[in-house]
Amino acid sequence: MDTIHEHATRLTEKTVATRRDLHMHPETAFQEVRTAGVVDARLRELGLTPRTGVGGTGVVAVWDSGRPGPTVLARADMDALPVPDAKDVPYASQTPGNAHACGHDGHTAVLLSVAETVVGMGDALAGRVVFVFQPAEEVMPGGAEAMLNDGALDGLTIDHVTGLHLSSQYPTGTVALRAGPAMAATDTYDLIVRGRGGHAARPQETIDPIVAGAELVQALQTLVSRELDPIDRAVISVTRFEAGSAYNVIPQEAHLAGTLRTFEADTRERLRERIHEVAASVAATHRAEADVQWTSGFPAVVNDPAEADRLRAVAARVVGPERVLEMAPIMGGDDMAYWLQAAPGCYAFVGASGGEATAWPHHHPNFDVDEAALPIAVEVLASSVVDALGGPTG
């Protein structure tokens, strides 16, 4: 029987070809029709019977060894971004305005090769693997929640969850992960300060929402600096402040908006509450009123410590222990968080920067992954799946 390394190596050309095909045909959130078709066809070739159209354009396929054992969920996201492709490469985007600028083309290609590896090793494995190809990681609410609401995991009891993100932040040949909170919960808010408009020369007859709003921007910053345990992490950003339209008019309202990023569920709750209280009291000080509307984003990505240890050991066997890096928490979010709520699991980053051309930040029009990272990602993810199943039984 071939080892996982032999499978991943043998599949390298196919993994790269699939990645390039998807890269040339990027589809944005919930539009992944062609992509889902490619996934469906490949999974069928492997003898699986995928469910398509789950949560829009999601695909789920269950591989069953027929022998009792754990059920492992492996997830890839499939969506591209509404970002132009500025690269001069033969596999550049053929869809103007869209590009795979986050590497999700790679994730999809990698998970397909992992599925092929698992099927190829099938006789030696016990348990089940649930392959999840999800749409729309880049928008809120994302494809994970849509798939779960559409019954993606109905009738399944998941024991382990695993997944990878390629990263231009780390060099090819490294794997980065951390136990515990790894990526932030991403909530957004809209905040209206209501005053009373009037003549700019007669402020005593008005309630100025701009002055109240300006003080509120300052006051919100003290929540993180003065009320949060410095060991914990959070960000409150005001990213929008709109008010008024003339030189001589005090407006009726000011509209503020922004984002709250947190890692701990109770911190998230407390800061949301405190933003309401501070908004109301600062506005009241100025005789104005404040109204806060929240849009809940993804929960935090939280890696189970035991699963993180397991993935660290698996990755060390693939890339060497000195190339498994401890990752700092990321203030960005990922709806992998929802799959990780289904069972203990770990989400890791696979280094995919091989030099200048592949060192661009994610979401940049020049973003590209180092394709040498793809077989490594296949081997790490397949090893994670097989290890969670209990390893080859034969």
Q: Which is nearer to Zn ion, 105 or 116 (CB)?
A: 105
- Please identify which residue in the block is written with the tokens 């109905």: 154
Alpha helix positions (H), the chain = 4-10, 12-24, 33-45, 104-120, 143-149, 209-227, 265-285, 305-319, 336-340, 373-389
Q: What angle do CA 145, 235, 253 make, to 5 degrees?
A: 90
Q: How far is the CB of 102 from Zn ion (least distance, A)?
A: 3
Residue from 77, 105, 137, 138 carrying the catalytic annotation: 137
CA–chain centroid gap for 281, Å, is 35
Q: How far is the CB of 107 from Zn ion (least distance, A)?
A: 8
Distance CA 227, CA 234 (A): 11
Q: Which is nearer to Zn ion, 151 or 361 (CB)?
A: 361
Q: Which is nearer to Zn ion, 78 or 342 (CB)?
A: 78
13 a catalytic residue: no
Q: How far is the CB of 332 from Zn ion (least distance, A)?
A: 8
79 a catalytic residue: yes
User: Count of CB atoms within 10 A of residue 367's CB?
Assistant: 22
Residue number with the smallest Cβ distance to Zn ion:
102
Q: Which is nearer to Zn ion, 282 or 336 (CB)?
A: 336
CB 7 within 8 A of CB 392: no
Distance CA 378, CA 109 (A): 9
Site residues (vs Zn ion, CB under 5 A): 102
Residue from 27, 32, 79, 253 carrying the catalytic annotation: 79
As to burial, measured by CB atoms within 10 angstroms (0-12 exposed, 13-18 middle, 19+ buried), residue 136 is buried
Q: List active site positions.
A: 79, 137
